[in-house]
Amino acid sequence: MTPCRKCGALLDRPDRKFCPECGAPTSPTSPVRHADALPEFEHHESILQNYRAMFLVSQTFTVSVAATRINDKGLVLLLAVFGFIWLPIWVFVTFLRGRVVRFFEEHDDEGALQRYRAEIESTVHRAGFWIFTVVFPGTFALLWVSLLLVAFGFVRTV
């Protein structure tokens, strides 16, 4: 039994291509042909951006409706529950889709996608992760808490 090179879990079968615990490839070199990796990368990156946009629109819409109906406590509470349920889903889905994108970047047999990210977009990738996976969900959580505090009279507005 050999350990996974990423998480250290013991691999019970040598014929496994992926670790059952973390999903990492068991072979240090599991290349994907560049001709296959590039369209897959583009497809999954597009899906990731679409998911981020959908979550952003849904949160913005529900927050704005709740803000315009601040005197209707029941509606604000209902929309806040909807918004709070979507926040962890947002983080989880975009994190998992990001893993798929990184897989094709890291396993491109020519290394072109990895070089592109390292040389040109490394800062953009890090910023995108932090903004879309941490900052925006945190901002919406703060907005929801603020709306609930105002709607239920814990904070007064002028």
Query: Where exactly are the structural domains of the chain?
Result: 1-30, 33-151
Q: What is the mean pLDDT of each run of 10 residues along the chain (158 residues)?
A: 76 73 66 85 92 94 94 94 94 90 82 79 84 93 94 84
* DSSP notation for the chain: -EE-TTT--EES-TT-SB-TTT--BSSS---B-HHHHHHHHHHHHHHHHHHHHHHHHHHHHHHHHHHHTTT-HHHHHHHHHHHHHHHHHHHHHHHHHHHHHHHHHHTBTT-HHHHHIIIIIHHHHHHHHHIIIIIHHHHHHHHHHHHHHHHTTSS---
State pTM to two decimals: 0.69
What pLDDT is recorded for position 11? 79
